[in-house]
Amino acid sequence: MISFLALLGMGGITLRIVGVDLAVIQSWLPAGLLGELFNRQIAIISGHAGNDSGAVCTDAKGQALVTEAAIIAAIVERATSQLQWAGAHVVILNEFDDRLAGLQADLLLSLHADSCIDASGYKFALTSRSTVPSARLATLGVCFDQFYREATGLNDHPNTITHNMTDYHAFRRLDATTPALILEVGFIGGDQALLTQEPDRVARGITNSIRCFFAKESDSS
């Protein structure tokens, strides 16, 4: 069955390459066989990967307990699996990956976690260096505010959004047509139990937000 589905997927991609519309391809197949994210090109930056550990939380003796990079890597792994199951083509990138230069994708998402302070909440920033219509980017933000909040139970924490987020380095390197968002999934201090013990739940919030974004995009097209 897995081989059969893989063969169908490759056949579908081949048809897209030669110009057959996705809606036509889906009409030929049983309902639900191709996921709603079929052939969407999604790039995910695993925060600090290939560069450093990011935030490091220590115990009373100064021994490292958790690192931001490790927390995010676990979440990225699960989000990637969920997105691929929905039909997306996902590429995982390091923080300063050479492939970011001129990157063209249906979406770039960079995942990070905030510091070890006793605070709670998520926050995000959208690219301001693109030709993507502002309404489309706003939809991306609305979807994260709804579905990430719903899945994780976290509230937004917008008053700690930094310049490093609003002018995130990857935003300056992407192709201008790529919608992009950087998400701080929570604080390693106050949200540590969620981030370390329930990475599937965090990943589900990310995946559901992305599903929402592309669903709304399809509805408006």
pTM: 0.85
Given a cut of 50, is residue 107 above it in pLDDT? Answer: yes
Given a cut of 60, is residue 168 above it in pLDDT? Answer: yes
Pair 97, 125 in one domain: yes
Amino acid at 186: G
Mean pLDDT, residues 34-42: 91
Least confident of 25-29, 87-91, 174-178, 186-190: 25-29
How many domains, in total, are found in the chain? Answer: 2
Q: What is the pLDDT of residue 165?
A: 97
Mean pLDDT, residues 11-37: 56
Pair 82, 158 in one domain: yes
Q: What is the pLDDT of residue 155?
A: 98
- Tracing tokens 């090109």 back to the chain, one arrives at 41
Pair 105, 165 in one domain: yes
pLDDT band of residue 20 (cuts 50, 70, 90) is low
Pair 125, 176 in one domain: yes
Q: What is the pLDDT of residue 25?
A: 52
Q: What is the pLDDT of residue 31?
A: 39
User: Cα separation of 95 and 47, whole Å?
Assistant: 6
Amino acid at 148: Y
Q: Could you tell me which residue, 221 or 195, shows the higher pLDDT?
A: 195
Given a cut of 90, is residue 116 above it in pLDDT? Answer: yes
What's 111's domain CATH number?
Answer: 3.40.630.40
User: Cα separation of 91 and 105, whole Å?
Assistant: 10
Q: What is the pLDDT of residue 93?
A: 98
Pair 1, 107 in one domain: no
Pair 8, 73 in one domain: no
Pair 29, 62 in one domain: no
Full residue range of the structural domain in which residue 91 is found: 37-220
pLDDT band of residue 17 (cuts 50, 70, 90) is low
The two tokens of residue 58 are 């220590």
Name the β-bridge partners of 92. 44
3-state helix, strand, coil in the chain (%, to 5): 45, 20, 35
The tens digit of pLDDT for each residue in 47-99 reads: 999 999 999 999 888 888 999 999 999 999 999 999 999 999 999 999 999 99
Q: What is the pLDDT of residue 218?
A: 77
User: Cα separation of 143 and 135, whole Å?
Assistant: 12
